[in-house]
Amino acid sequence: MKLLVITFLLITTPAFSLTNNELNLAKSNGLYFSLIPTLKNKIINLSLTKSDIKVITEITERLGGEQFEQISSGYLNKINSGVSLYLSAKQMFKDGKYSQALSVVKRSIQSKDSLSPFKYLLAGSASVLLRNDSEARKFFNLCLDSSRSNRGRNDQQQIFNQEIGYAYDSCLVGLARIEFQLKNFVKAKDLYGRLQKSSLIWPEILFEEAWNSFYENDFNRTLGKLITYNSPFIEHVFNPEVEVLNAMTYLELCRYDDAKKTVNSFYKKYKNNSKLLKEFNRKYQRYPSKLGKMAVQFHSSPIQVNELLSKLFKSLNRDLSFQRMRANLLKIREEIRLVRNVKNKRLRSKLAQGLKQVYLDQIRIIGRYSQRILKRQEKVLEKSMVGMSYINLEIIKKLKNKFFNRDVVSKKIGDIKNLKRDSNQYLWDFNGEFWADELGDYVFSLKSSCG
């Protein structure tokens, strides 16, 4: 316990602070990371000025707020500013304290700033988890409006603009998920359909569209959505539940041989890897910095790991938040080089000392983020293994009944009359190719083999 307390103090309370003049000098020279240790100290001592709060908002917009999120939410709440309350709410949300997170982010929303789209997204997400659909809709719609007004506001901040786009798409999908949960599948389908295929989150959301089609009993379209994951365009996506839904769909069509092949392929791919992933996560559970270094290194020099971990690290490096955090490491290094040219020896020493700690904190932040992602994937894989085992038992049962009842199954695999099309959908031949502009629009024409 003492070790944890000591580590926390090292992260949040630097042994030095810049004077106001030194802060202004560092800011005027664009040395934003150099400001962080002093600003953390001022948060804890409740000595922030309005100018300091403005700088923290700018840093959070430019670089992300992860460095400040390490500070206890109690300190952040006492500051009672838009940015500090937002950072506190994020921290609570990650800890599963959704009711508290919603209460705090509502206070943060009252301060209109460039972070508003993310605040609305957080408020909407917390409302969904608290099963307050009407409030979630309100926040998601405000998020869409706020994202539109903030998008492209600063062309120099590419990652920030990408994250604004990410917030917009996430809020759009949030509305679709609400309709899906309420079994309004036609509405959900329309909202999912508004998501551009160029969206950073589209590859993951394709799976949700497949579920929506499944509940509409449009099983051929479900299979069409799922086969898109075979495309080389989105090979980085890891989602073992795709195979589970694939097998379930074949089961609904009474195509037991196809379902069995899917089950066998799943076990061959994941049975051993599931254990390896669990061991890997356990190994690095207490060493976030080591995992952070490994994840960053994978981008430039892929490490030798098994096929599953390699895919997970590839997926992690495509994650927008991870990319920003990784880019921040390079910015810190660049700032360290700039600090070496500071003529004032005393100031140069203070800045260098602070930047060293900020750099170590950044690696630890990346490691903790990687831990959360990999742990989440471990749980998804475990859930998929359980789901697939039930499906396997059901297939065996169905095949047994089929054998003893001597069911006759039509040998005809597919027919164009089995296709379901909307007025805005066209018929294209499919010969095994993948077209980048048509991904996710494939539809099977399988005939149900059920009696």
pLDDT tens digits in sequence order for the chain, 451 residues long: 333 333 333 344 444 688 888 888 888 888 999 999 999 999 999 999 999 999 999 999 889 999 999 899 999 999 999 999 999 999 999 999 999 999 999 999 998 888 999 999 999 999 999 999 999 999 999 999 999 988 766 555 677 788 999 999 999 999 999 999 999 999 999 999 999 998 989 999 999 999 999 999 999 999 999 999 988 888 889 999 999 999 999 999 999 999 999 999 999 999 888 889 999 999 999 999 999 999 999 877 766 668 889 899 999 999 999 999 999 999 999 999 999 998 889 999 999 999 999 999 999 999 999 999 999 999 999 999 999 999 999 998 888 777 666 554 444 444 445 555 554 444 455 555 555 556 677 777 788 888 6
pTM: 0.86
Q: Given 383, 406, 429, which residue is the final one in a domain?
A: 406
CA distances 293 to 22, 103, 200, 364, 433, Å, are 32, 36, 25, 9, 38
User: What is the 3-state composition of the chain as percent helix, strand, coil, each rounded to the nearest 5?
Assistant: 75, 0, 25
Residues 252 and 400 placed together within one structural domain of the fold: yes
365 occurs within a structural domain: yes
Q: Where are the alpha helices (DSSP H) in 152-234?
A: 158-181, 185-193, 202-215, 219-227
371 occurs within a structural domain: yes
- The amino acid sitting at 364 is R
Measured between alpha carbons, how far is 412 from 168 in angstroms, rounded to an integer? 45
Q: Given 103, 130, 153, which residue is the final one in a domain?
A: 103
366 occurs within a structural domain: yes
Measured between alpha carbons, how far is 415 from 446 in angstroms, rounded to an integer? 7
143 occurs within a structural domain: no
CA distances 427 to 218, 361, 406, 416, 435, Å, are 16, 54, 37, 10, 14
Q: Given 51, 79, 103, which residue is the final one in a domain?
A: 103
Residues 99 and 248 placed together within one structural domain of the fold: no
Six-digit token string for 382: 């475990």
User: Cβ(201)–Cβ(169) under 8 Å?
Assistant: yes
User: Cβ(225)–Cβ(206) under 8 Å?
Assistant: yes
451 occurs within a structural domain: no
Exposed / middle / buried, residue 368 (Cβ in 10 Å: 0-12, 13-18, 19+):
middle
Neighbours of 255 (CB within 10 A): 22
- The amino acid sitting at 75 is Y
Range of the domain at 306: 240-406
422 occurs within a structural domain: no
Domain total in the chain: 2
12 occurs within a structural domain: yes
